[in-house]
Structure 1
């Protein structure tokens, strides 16, 4: 017998499924998901593999008020996240606090960022084959809940598959991403929606929900449009014939040139995620920020050895960053990760 959770499912969000029988009940599966001894259990792996990310799958990252302000300023999605369908039942701030990455547990208001996945290649299972070192990090070197390595988040009641952005990379924001607020009564409110051509956020919350915005540091609740001030650390680029353009993704089907006028928003023929990467002290890192002397780096594969070598500090769950002299960077280059798009009509 295969059991699925009863939620309103989108076709782009296949349900988490478990083949239950007399010797394997739902409580047994949940208990296995919370035990490091079951990391290599084939039955648990098969269950985890049913929670697939597809192009257009709604992804969610639970935020603190400070993180919301950061995203309004231009932060991109990165780090730990979840499929929206897997946490649809968690609506109250105290329930969402379990999934926060900053380690805090204040529960007066809940916040989240929701967007659609551009491609499954952008997501990995924390503690899995791509990130084996996360689950071995001791408590004094991490913030937030421990990484079990089973592919599920720590919980005494729920079975929630967790993801990270691949290599803890910043992911460019797709069109119509949303910043959400959750009231103490469990009401979900769309606070802002992302406008990619303007690189800013349009406020949607009316006067009734203005109280959800009052705790955001540095943000005026009455402001209807908030332009991003930070330069993006990753961007989408597309090509039409031999020409390259900044691109916008509106998954699952629309990938276009970034242009203020609608008439110029042509579909691109290819799409890539572009970011800076470098090697520092033998450790592969993303280059998030740099000037003439220093660079801010984020580790792609944090483990005990790389933390000891780089002295990287944990800023939120799984995210380790450090400042390095620019002259010490090796193999400093621009990396393009190409996505596999369906053919777009060619333009002359």
Structure 2
């Protein structure tokens, strides 16, 4: 049997949260509060300074996860959650699971307990995912193919981390600017696109030394390294690139806890469209290399990974809008004709007896990424850690062995259908 742990939950695209204030109970005290992130978290208010509260206007505030409070509004139900669960057994509670989750050298019994709890944190069609970005990663995202890869999280699990200081724990590409943090948000197309960061899935990452890493280590327990939070980690399957879904967003978080949508991806026109108005111009200006005042950033969606489907008897590029299906990737209005057999494809190969992903080509050289990084493969390929868990290098085209197209078939219809 399992009990629901009062943290962490899976979330599909949430309904709009109430905008007004309500009363909640947190740590046996009553507070005024405002639901945020579709009910996944609360901003709570106090007239006096308390531990963890920060000044705001004429009072003080802080952010807490919805699972930590008692509310008459049932925000967890409104958010559509399935909370993380732990087995019902003597000696197993949230504190125990958290302690074991932070130790990469736990024994088989402890690892079985952590794995059982981790398995209850899952992704479904439409789950809102989020990946922290540095300023330089934001610039690259706006000027490269609409893809995402690497370590990420469900938005629900990190909804209470609203300030740049709080979000440092999530960073996979540490940034020297601490006054603003950035993130990419999108919807999951299918559960098969994501893996837990447990050692069973990425055995070599646990033993990678600090000199070969960016960001915090991968513990191999499936949870984020943190002394205070129990947050499940995900990685894109095999560290492959995933196509971004319609209306993916680039977000900014400010010291007062505001979340601002800076850019939104519009696949039908192949652009990132600036959403932030003039009063947020300073946030956009913190992104290096961007032309001042520029509102549109065109992308090339057909680079080394993509999404295709059958449409009117032909195989064509398509775009995904989880919850609304797939549509033909073309300028203008979406076609009324349905898309069938949606598939994601990417290129895999072997180089120096190591499995790699082929990402892009520059004449006789190919940029490759290690799909199962460990210290031996990192040394053999001289790969560089470009962000947490991601190791890339350039390889001579002629040395790649067995290049092949890997195809993932997506279900087209029921969200519960299997790949």
Instruction: Classify the TM-score, shorter chain.
Output: over 0.9
Q: Say whether residues 1:182 and 2:182 are aligned partners.
A: no
Of 79, 94, 103, the residue aligned with 1:26 is 94
With normalisation by structure 2, the TM-score equals 0.77
Which among 140, 153, 156 is matched to residue 85 of structure 1? 156
Point out where structure 2 has 5 or more consecutive residues left out of the alignment: 8-65, 68-74, 415-419
1:282 is matched with 353
Query: Following the alignment from structure 1 to structure 2, what is the Cα–Cα distance between the partners of residues 306 and 274?
Result: 24
1:295 aligns with one of 336, 355, 366 = 366
Question: Which structure 2 residues correspond to residues 1-348 of structure 1 after superposition, within 5 A?
Answer: 1-5=3-7, 6=66, 8-9=75-76, 13-19=81-87, 23-38=91-106, 40=108, 41-75=111-145, 76-104=147-175, 106-228=177-299, 232-240=303-311, 242-262=313-333, 264=335, 266-342=337-413
Q: Kindly provide the CA deviation profile for residues 191-222 of structure 1, in whole angstroms up to 9, marking residues without a partner as x.
A: 11100122211111112222211110112352
Shift of 1:234: 1.1
| 2:268–2:333 Cα contact (<8 Å) kept | no
Q: CA deviation digits over 1:173-208, x for unaligned, max 9? A: 110100000111110011111001222111111122
SS at match of 1:59: strand
Per the alignment, do residues 58 and 232 of structure 1 end up closer, same or farther by CA in structure 2, a change over 3 Å counting? same
Farther off after superposition, 292-301 or 223-232: 223-232
> Which deviates the most, 207-216 or 149-158?
207-216
1:162 positional shift: 0.4
Q: Partner residue of 1:346? A: none
User: Whole-Å Cα distance in 2 between the matches of residues 70 and 295 of structure 1?
Assistant: 19
Q: Secondary structure at the match of 1:262?
A: coil
Q: Distance in 2 between matches of 1:29 and 1:291?
A: 47
- After superposition, the Cα gap between the structure-2 partners of 1:19 and 1:221, relative to the gap in structure 1 and judged at 3 Å, is farther
SS of 2:306 mapped into structure 1? strand
Count residues with an aligned counterpart. 343
CA distance in 1, matches of 2:321, 2:195: 21
Distance 2:81 2:140 in 1: 28
Deviation at 1:291, TM superposition (A): 3.0
Deviation at 1:103, TM superposition (A): 3.0
Distance 1:241 1:11, change over 3 A: farther
TM-score (norm 1): 0.92
Contact 1:278 1:333 (8 Å CA) reproduced:
yes
Q: Report if the CA contact (8 A) 1:56-1:118 is conserved.
A: yes
Equivalent residues of 2:240, 2:371 under 8 A apart: yes
Structure 1 moving runs of 4+ over 6 Å: none
Q: Determine which structure has greater relative contact order: mean sequence separation of CA pairs < 8 Å that are 6+ residues apart, divided by chain length.
A: 1
SS at match of 1:4: coil
Q: 1:229-269, CA deviations, whole angstroms, 9 ceiling, x for partnerless residues?
A: 68633110001364101010000331111122325253211
In 1: Cα distance, 2:6 partner to 2:87 partner: 9
Shift of 1:11: 6.3
- 8 Å CA contact 1:127–1:133 kept in 2: the answer is no
- The answer on whether the counterparts of 1:73 and 1:230 sit within 8 Å (CA) in structure 2 is no
CA deviation vs aligned residue, 1:137-178 (integer Å, no higher than 9, x gap): 111111110111110010010000001111111111110100
Contact 2:249 2:264 in 1 (8 A): yes
Structure index of larger Rg: 2
Measured against aligned partners, the alpha-carbon deviations of 1:13-62 in whole angstroms (never above 9, x if no partner) come to 53223356773332222111101133742221121111110011000000
Counterparts of 1:170 and 1:39, CA distance in 2: 33
